[in-house]
Amino acid sequence: MIKTVGYDPARRILDVEFHNEHVYRYEDVDNAVFAEFMAAESKGRYFNEHIQHGYEYERLL
């Protein structure tokens, strides 16, 4: 589901690229949420449960 992830802790911006090549930017993502996301056994499940609908976002590509 998730191909790559980028995070800017100073700006609290999370970029997520999916295998379908779509890239979304999520705003105001706390460092702790990013750390939990990276540590999750299933990043797709964590994303769906904690990030996908919990943050404002925009599609970049």
Domain that holds residue 39: 2-59
Residues 7-35, buried b or exposed e (16+ Cβ, 10 A)? beeeebbbbbbeeeeeebbbeebeeebbe
pLDDT at site 43? 97
Asked whether the whole model's pTM tops 0.85, one would answer yes
Confidence category of residue 6, pLDDT binned at 50, 70, 90: very high
Per-residue pLDDT tens digits for 24-53: 999 999 999 999 999 999 999 999 999 999
- In the prediction, which pLDDT does 44 show? 96
Number of domains in the chain: 1
Query: Distance (Å, rounded) from C-alpha 3 to C-alpha 52?
Result: 15
pLDDT-derived band at 13 (thresholds 50, 70, 90) equals very high
